[in-house]
Amino acid sequence: MSIAELQIGLEAPPARLTLAGTALFLDLDGTLATIAERPEDVRPDPRRTNLIERLLLGLDGRLAVVSGRSLEDIDHILEGRVTTVAAIHGLVRRDACGVVGQAAPHPALGQAAARLAEFAASDPNLLIEDKALSLALHYRQAPHLAQAARDLAQAIADETGLACQPGDMVVELRTPGASKGDSIRAFMTEPPFAGAMPVFLGDDLTDEHGFFAVNILGGYGVLVGPQRRTVARYMLADVEAALAWLEAAS
């Protein structure tokens, strides 16, 4: 069964979250943090850090962040509070014991970087984010170049074998490998997550694999942001609504 085959109607909002018996998986940008003009503009926030600490305690450690960010970025933004992390959409995974595993970088990333740099030179509002295992081309500040950016990324992917992954005002060329859903499935086989009901909050197209995974595992996904076609079962309007829902958990 593919994600495209499982279109679930959204029910909004989800009931109050019960921490006992739950395994919680959280995206970062667009879910725990408002998306900024530039990735580096997202910084640590006391409210978010305090919430993470309380959830970790209430969940007995059954909380993981599953994000497209690099591991270093996640640790910086969350002030090192979360050990269990899937970074770069699942290409890097750090388990509850702190052991890190990651994919080998695709050999065509250097070639792709040169092509993207040439394109980005046409407009100072284009931003390339190098995550070592992937390259993200951000066009949030140059929306008129959205189609050209997506077309270029797809052409590079077709030529090199890199995976082309669209997102919210960004397109990413990544080393083929594990998805967010694969990471969630792996975490769910390990302590302290095994045997709990998985819940995943995310906002972007890249989160659909995670929503699909928790559905199959008997849990549910929560889409944060505007309504769209999704396999998430519930929705919350925005980051503020997501934070408030998590703060009300017991």
Residues noted as catalytic: 27
Q: What is the DSSP string of 35-102?
A: PPSSGGG----HHHHHHHHHHHHHTTT-EEEE-SS-HHHHHHHTTT----EEEGGGTEEE-TT--EEE
How many angstroms separate the CA atoms of 153 and 72, rounded?
25
With CA atoms as reference, report the closest residue to 29 among 42, 16, 18. Answer: 42
How many angstroms separate the CA atoms of 13 and 65, rounded?
22
Which residues touch 193 (CB under 8 Å, ≥6 apart)?
Answer: 23, 62, 64, 84, 96, 187
**Token pair of 23, please?**
């395994």
Within 10 angstroms of residue 206's Cβ, the number of other Cβ atoms is: 24
